[in-house]
Amino acid sequence: MTKRILSIAMIGTATSVFAGDWQPLFDGKTLNGWEGATNGYHAIDGGVLQCVKAGGGKIVTSKDYADFEVEFDFKLTPGANNGLGIRCKLAGDAAYDGMEIQILDDDSPQYAKLHEYQYHGSIYGVVPAKRGHQKPVGEWNHERVLAVGDHIVVELNGTIITEGHLDPIKETMDGKKHPGLHAPSGRIGFLGHGADVFFKDIRVRELGKDEKPTACVEQDRNRNLCVAAGEHLPGTPDNTPPAGFTAQFNGKDLANWKGLVANPIQRAKMTKEQLKTAQEKADESMRAHWKVENGELVFDGKGQSLCTAKDYGDFEMYVDWKIPAHGDSGIYLRGSPQVQIWDTENARESKNGADKGSGALWNNQKSGNRPLVKADNPVGQWNTMFIRMVGDKVTVYLNGKLVLENIVMENYWDRSQPIFPTGQIELQNHGGPLWFKNVYLRELPR
């Protein structure tokens, strides 16, 4: 059986930050937009979809979805068993040619001895759900499922009960092959198993569709990303974020930034008073060496790196950067090094891979630490970098070209543990002048 580490968030509510429009999947009256065993589902009571005990079966949307969030209300009858199929096919077994998010009456005596990965909210056979958040049979529950790349989140009645990254998983927990875990897109459906189950307020939102910059030069085939080259929104001023993003740098001052204090492990060992004192000193140094000139962040080559004032978990980021000859910099993710930036013509650094280009996770030892292509503009010119981090995986585009795809970021500070789940983002220095602008961030729901 494949060994895996699962990340289950036990506290809090996941709130979407995407700006795209929700679209109904059920019009309340007909099965328009659905295919499959439509005779086993009936529209009743002004907007309720019933999976009938005598019929049921699998119905799926007529359309495929890649990255999305779907939400719905459901009501169970005693012993009810159903499922939500995601990224599945019209034909075949949705639990294996896509994924099945289990829908089940957990409290029914007949299910008392199921495996942990078979209860409600589990990614069937693969990622167990946390139990205890389902309402009694006969009451309405609200469920939300998020699928972004290999990251799947299930939220039940306001609590995240399931969260997992699927790329490392090759088989089910009982040793079966499961090719559907890695399907980049597919249908959404309900999977009736001979029980009356009721659904309403079924809707979906495609992620990335309405949040893309207008200057689109390359499409990520699996994750529906659109990455801009050069200007993010042609014709608009610098430091004006694309839809769905927030400007981390406002072009005027150092608001939203702070100075660097040690590293994440050392900071965690400090008392509140020690950290406060150290942060005050670091902020003083920051203000001495980082300035804002003509809408640009300018570093004088002395002092320490520049850090975001808040921590980030999963996120997408744009940043424009410029370096001089022999320049060396990077973007620390969650306080850890680093997405590499350097002068690719610096012969002294060729032995370290500078001639291969910027954009890779240079400090990795086991995972990839070289870019797919060299995409840097000449020294002294602006470069646009797009970074996406979900879980421990990082994707990077540089000047519109894919240079790093879904690579695990290793924990430089303690290689015996995974990368930290949250942390600050840092603009790194190596003792030379630097320029940054158009720093945009979007937090991804978890």
pTM passes above 0.85? no
pLDDT at 218: 36
Q: Please state which of the ranges 166-175, 235-244, 295-304 shows the lowest mean pLDDT.
A: 235-244
- Taking only the tens place, the pLDDT of each residue in 404-438 is 988 999 999 999 999 999 999 999 998 899 999 99
Report, as an integer, the average pLDDT of 190-216: 76
Could you tell me the CATH superfamily of domain 23-206? Answer: Exo-inulinase; domain 1 (2.60.120.560)
pLDDT band of 446, cuts 50, 70, 90: low
Q: Are 154 and 145 in contact (CB under 8 A)?
A: yes
pLDDT band of 227, cuts 50, 70, 90: very low
> Bridge-partner residues for 123, per DSSP?
101, 127
Report, as an integer, the average pLDDT of 99-123: 96
| The domain defined by 218-443 carries CATH number 3.50.30.60 | no
Sign of CA dihedral 275, 316, 386, 321: negative
Is the pLDDT score of 230 beyond 50? no
Q: Are 31 and 38 in contact (CB under 8 A)?
A: yes
Provide the residue ranges of all domains of the chain, joining segments of one domain with +.
23-206, 218-443
- Taking only the tens place, the pLDDT of each residue in 276-291 is 999 999 999 999 999 9
Is the pLDDT score of 59 beyond 60? yes
pLDDT at 170: 82
pLDDT at 234: 47
Higher per-residue confidence, 444 vs 257: 257
- Taking only the tens place, the pLDDT of each residue in 350-401 is 999 899 999 999 999 988 889 999 999 999 999 999 999 988 999 999 998 8
Contacts of 121 (CB under 8 A, 6+ apart): 101, 102, 129, 130, 143, 154, 156, 161, 162
Contacts of 336 (CB under 8 A, 6+ apart): 264, 363, 409, 411, 412, 413, 419, 420, 423
Q: CA separation (Å) from 88 to 39, 177, 180, 248, 284?
A: 20, 15, 7, 38, 55
Give the separation between CA 195 and CA 197, rounded to whole angstroms.
6
Q: Strands 99-104 and 140-148: what pairing?
A: unpaired
